[in-house]
Amino acid sequence: MIVSIAFLLGQTLMYASPLIFTSLGGTVSENSGVVNIGLEGMMVVGAFTAAAVGYFSGNAWVGLFAAGVAAGCFGLLHAVACVTFNADHVVSGIAINFLGPGISYFVSRLLFDGATQTRSLGLDNKIPRPLNGVFASNSVPDLLLNRYATAYLAVVAVAAVWFVLYRTRLGLRIRAVGEHPEAADTLGVDVKLVRYVSVVASGFFAGLGGGTLSIAIISQFRPGLISGQGFIALAAVIFGKWRPQGAFAACLLFGFAQALVVFLGLRTDALPTQIMSMLPYALTLVVLVGFVGRSAAPRAIGRPFGAGETT
């Protein structure tokens, strides 16, 4: 029984980690007032870049960092459209969701002999598990804590984003431009710059999330790897009321649901896994209806800001 619980919780953390990174990205971007529905496409870019760079460099950490940078470039693209050109945030995000996967598969076919999946990283070249071998195999602490380094990194990132958002000047500015850009502007905050930084950061985080999937949880990039995780991360942002700690909790819940599907799938056919898989989404709807107040969102979200322009 205890072993089962440990297994479940350990798997929860593993499945949640890509979502955590990505939802942190969403949290930062949305707090600055820019809707980022392109998280999905950015995750695909990250997943591919991590796998490709990891494969060619032989170093997973280089791959993971490259994933963040590559997806950050797509964040920059989103920022150019939304911040500089006052584009519709959702439409630009949809464009990213076509461009990201399109470019990833395109480059993949060029680099990997026409295949849309990358070659696997060797087990030793994946993101390492720092606590591997510390505990007896399949013991409770082993099941619980023997996780890929990115899972721990994700938890650290939550704390870091929380600290930046609520304990630093930059964070105050991010929230200010998301809440009332005109007021922030009068106080001398460079609204556009702050939004640029936030959106590029959100791309970086989404890239880490994608990379976590491709080179920690599995060992390659393939089509369908992301399939909707970016959207789930977006839901987690809203579920968590636009706060990093809230998004973290929502991601753990989604991760738990995924772990439960795997857990039950291994043991019984009685409960259809499809119904289980449906739960997080249904739950999100319920929560949106019942608990998330209308006032939770940053006030200026989705609204373009142009100094001196009337838009």
Query: Helices 273-290 & 229-239, crossing angle to 10 degrees?
Result: 30
Q: In this complex, which beta carbon is closest to another protein, that of residue 24 or of residue 35?
A: 35
- Per-residue mark of binding to another protein, 30-59 (x: CB under 8 A): x----x-x----------------------
The binder of another protein chosen from 67, 96, 151, 216 (CB under 8 A) = 96
Tokens of 88: 């519709």
Please choose, from the candidates 304, 218, 228, the residue with its C-alpha nearest in 3D space to the C-alpha of residue 41.
228
Q: In this complex, which beta carbon is closest to another protein, that of residue 60 or of residue 233?
A: 233
- 116: exposed, middle or buried (Cβ count in 10 Å: 0-12, 13-18, 19+): middle
121: Cβ contacts below 8 Å, ≥ 6 apart: 51, 54, 55, 60, 215, 219, 220
The binder of another protein chosen from 186, 224, 270, 308 (CB under 8 A) = 224
Q: In this complex, which beta carbon is closest to another protein, that of residue 15 or of residue 65?
A: 15
Q: In this complex, which beta carbon is closest to another protein, that of residue 98 or of residue 166?
A: 98
Cβ proximity of 176 and 32 under 8 Å: no
Query: Helices 169-179 & 2-31, crossing angle to 10 degrees?
Result: 70
Stretch that binds another protein, among 141-149, 159-167, 173-181, 234-242 (CB under 8 A): 234-242
In the bound complex, what is the minimum distance in angstroms from residue 124's beta carbon to another protein? 30
Chain positions 242 to 281 lying near another protein, rule: CB under 8 A, are 272, 274-275, 277-278, 281
The binder of another protein chosen from 51, 234, 252, 253 (CB under 8 A) = 234
Cβ proximity of 161 and 249 under 8 Å: no
The binder of another protein chosen from 59, 86, 120, 245 (CB under 8 A) = 86
Q: Is 310 in the site for another protein (CB under 8 A)?
A: no
Exposure b/e, 209-226, CB count within 10 A at least 16 = b? bbbbbbbbbebbbbeebb
Q: Is 235 in the site for another protein (CB under 8 A)?
A: yes
The binder of another protein chosen from 180, 223, 249, 264 (CB under 8 A) = 223
Q: How far apart are alpha carbons 199 and 214 in whole angstroms?
A: 23
DSSP letter (8 states) at residue 58 = S
The binder of another protein chosen from 208, 238, 259, 260 (CB under 8 A) = 238
Q: Is 308 in the site for another protein (CB under 8 A)?
A: no
Cβ proximity of 51 and 213 under 8 Å: no
Q: How far apart are alpha carbons 90 and 30 in whole angstroms?
A: 12
In the bound complex, what is the minimum distance in angstroms from residue 219's beta carbon to another protein? 19
Per CB under 8 A, residues contacting another protein are 30, 35, 37, 77, 81, 85-88, 90-92, 94-103, 105-106, 109-110, 114, 116, 223-224, 227-228, 231, 234-235, 238, 272, 274-275, 277-278, 281-282, 284-285, 288-289, 292, 294, 296-297, 301-303
